[in-house]
Amino acid sequence: MTDHDWYDDSEYHEAVQRAERAKKFGWAATAGTAGALGCALIVLVSFVVVAVVAGLYVVVDMDS
């Protein structure tokens, strides 16, 4: 009888590796979502600025 199985912690190491991969994927997903939302916000703000400038141009042109 051997004690080899007593010290076998390969399942623990595999679980740690899976957890590390899941953590990296989670952070990548979070960063990707934040980046996409940031880009969408920039586009939205740009459209609002263009709409305001166009509206001001129409108001000024109507007074002339």
- pLDDT band at residue 62 under the 50/70/90 scheme: confident
The burial of 4, by beta-carbon neighbours within 10 Å (0-12 exposed, 13-18 middle, 19 or more buried), is given as: exposed
Q: Which amino acid is present at 1?
A: M
Mean pLDDT in residue range 50-62: 94
Computed over every residue of the chain, the mean pLDDT equals: 90
Distance (Å, whole) CA 44 – CA 36: 12
- Tell me the domain boundaries of the chain: 4-63
| 12-26 average pLDDT score | 95
When pLDDT is cut at 50, 70 and 90, the band that residue 9 belongs to is confident
Looking up tokens 């997903």 gives 29
Residues in the chain: 64
Q: What is the average pLDDT across 6-27?
A: 90
